[in-house]
């Protein structure tokens, strides 16, 4: 995956759906010959083997199969380091973050992807109400349209984060529980689909395919958008496009609503602490937003939903601010970061502009 921040933190592990499991049959991942180095097998961990019994009972799986799979999972030493929080005092920098995702190479790849899948993007926009540029932005930020889907064995990554999540993380217990749920979901999904859990590769967090879906997201939101009776997020751009659009629909994307509005401040009345207190959660009516010193104009004054003041820090330079709508918040349900959401939006806009310049509307 891209340099991952926790994906879909709001998701709770759910029971595998048979239709989704069946749809996995025949999937093959694109992997490099240079697999990610792994450490010791979890077969020697008594606590892990004991958990195998619980997983099998809760999920209705063959206990011997679950034991065998977890015994073959390996600890990946690099994964806890990648998941550890940034050192205290690390300054966020939107301009630097932006430069990692909005560049000529990624934009050119986005143009090729859009041109190759224009009809599918149009259909997804009509069926789900999610603009093509948002879908293209997600797939570009996540994997450069399938060029970098990760080379970690999914089973290893999920086991490592379930059983050896870095204790230094401020939410280590909660995150470990989350990944235990995703590991269960992955085992359930692959077993019911008759897929070898050791065969699939993804990000260091266990996310899979062009859109980097976690196992629970795959079960809950992935769709067969190319009509071949299976869901393949690794090799089918159509399924990836439809699944991303379905994800946003599930998280209340509102067709026609802007992602954000420009905002300025009245230095005489601004209450920055109050405006930033809800973080990225849209909370304020337009009237309340302005009463706290945020200045809006144009279409923003007609906005009827709640707004959030989104701050994008720029290292030692002055931060940037926007008035985020419920659609901005919807993007952060894919990855809980305002920087991520803005990168998705701006990449999608850049690609859309390049497509229009190259081929016309």
Predicted confidence at residue 51, as pLDDT, reads: 92
- Tell which residue, 223, 205, 214, 309, has the closest CA to residue 261: 309
* 319 backbone dihedrals φ, ψ, rounded to 5°: -65, 160
Whether 306 and 282 have beta carbons less than 8 Å apart is answered as: yes
The pLDDT tens digits of the residues spanning 17-59 come to 333 444 566 676 654 445 666 789 999 999 999 999 999 999 9
Q: Is 153 helix (H, G, I), strand (E, B) or coil?
A: strand
Domain ranges of the chain: 18-89+147-231, 260-324
- Token reading at 77: 């030493």
Instruction: Using alpha carbons, list the distances in angstroms from residue 226 to 18, 34, 159, 238, 239.
Output: 19, 31, 32, 5, 6
What is the predicted pLDDT for the residue at 84? 83
DSSP track, 283-331: -B-HHHHHHTTEE--GGGGG--S-BEEEEEEETTEEEEEEEE-HHHHHH
Identify whether 142 is a catalytic site residue: yes
- Interacting residues of 35 by C-beta distance below 8 A, sequence separation 6+: 151, 153, 201
Contact assessment for residue 248 and residue 128, using Cβ atoms and an 8 Å cutoff = yes
From 1.10.10.1100, 2.40.50.140, 3.40.50.720, 1.10.8.350, which CATH number describes the 18-89+147-231 domain?
1.10.8.350
What is the sign, positive or negative, of the torsion defined by CA atoms of 235, 340, 132, 24?
positive
Tokens 């997201």 correspond to what residue? 217
Q: Which residues contact 13 (CB under 8 A, 6 or more apart)?
A: 178, 180, 181, 182, 184, 185, 216
Digitized pLDDT (tens) for each residue of the chain, 361 residues in all: 333 333 333 332 333 233 344 456 667 665 444 566 678 999 999 999 999 999 999 999 999 999 999 999 999 999 999 988 777 778 899 999 999 999 999 999 999 999 999 999 999 999 999 999 999 999 999 999 999 999 999 999 999 999 999 988 888 999 999 999 999 999 999 998 888 999 999 999 999 999 999 999 999 999 999 999 999 999 999 999 999 999 999 999 999 999 999 999 999 999 999 999 999 999 999 999 999 999 999 999 999 999 999 999 999 999 999 999 999 999 999 999 999 999 999 999 999 999 999 886 6
How many CA atoms lie within 13 Å of 347's alpha carbon, on the beta-carbon side?
34
In the set 53, 125, 133, 142, the catalytic residue is: 142
Q: What is the pTM of this model?
A: 0.90
Distance (Å, rounded) from C-alpha 5 to C-alpha 85? Answer: 10
Question: Quick check: 297 and 341 in contact, CB under 8 A?
Answer: no
Answer yes or no: are the C-beta atoms of 307 and 288 closer than 8 Å. Answer: no
**Distances, alpha carbon 257 to alpha carbons 281, 326, 333, 344, in Å:** 16, 8, 17, 16
User: Are the beta carbons of 265 and 324 closer than 8 angstroms?
Assistant: no
């Amino acid at each position: 995956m891209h340099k991952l921040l926790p994906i879909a933190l709001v998701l709770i592990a759910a029971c595998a759906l048979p239709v989704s499991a069946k749809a996995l049959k025949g999937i093959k991942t694109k992997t490099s010959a240079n697999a990610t180095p792994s450490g010791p097998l979890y077969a020697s961990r008594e606590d892990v083997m004991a958990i195998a019994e619980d997983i099998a009972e809760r999920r209705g799986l063959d206990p011997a199969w679950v034991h065998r799979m977890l015994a073959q999972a390996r600890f990946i030493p690099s994964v806890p380091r990648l998941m550890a929080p940034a050192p205290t005092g690390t300054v966020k920098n939107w301009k630097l973050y932006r430069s990692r995702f909005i560049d000529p190479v990624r934009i050119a790849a986005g143009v090729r992807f859009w041109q190759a899948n224009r009809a599918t993007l149009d259909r997804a926009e009509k069926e789900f109400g999610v603009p093509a540029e948002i879908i293209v932005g997600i797939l570009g930020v996540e994997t450069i349209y399938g060029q970098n889907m990760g080379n970690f064995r999914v089973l290893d990554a999920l086991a490592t984060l379930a059983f050896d999540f870095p204790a230094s993380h401020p939410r280590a217990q909660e995150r470990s529980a989350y990944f235990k749920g995703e590991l269960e979901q992955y085992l359930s999904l692959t077993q019911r689909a008759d897929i070898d859990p050791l065969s699939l590769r993804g990000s260091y967090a266990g996310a899979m395919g062009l859109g980097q879906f976690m196992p629970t997201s795959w079960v809950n939101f992935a769709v067969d958008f190319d009509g071949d009776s299976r869901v393949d997020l690794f090799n089918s751009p159509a399924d990836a496009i439809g699944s991303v659009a379905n994800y946003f629909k599930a998280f209340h994307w509102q067709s026609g609503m802007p992602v954000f509005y420009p905002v300025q401040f009245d230095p005489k009345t601004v209450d920055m602490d109050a405006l930033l207190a809800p973080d990225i959660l849209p909370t304020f009516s337009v009237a309340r937003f302005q009463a706290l010193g945020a200045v809006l104009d144009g279409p923003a004054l007609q906005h009827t939903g709640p707004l959030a003041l989104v701050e994008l820090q720029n290292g030692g330079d002055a931060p940037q601010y926007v008035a985020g709508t419920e659609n901005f918040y919807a993007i952060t349900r894919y990855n809980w970061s305002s920087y991520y959401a803005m990168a998705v939006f701006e990449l999608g806009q850049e690609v859309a502009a390049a497509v229009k310049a190259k081929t016309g509307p």
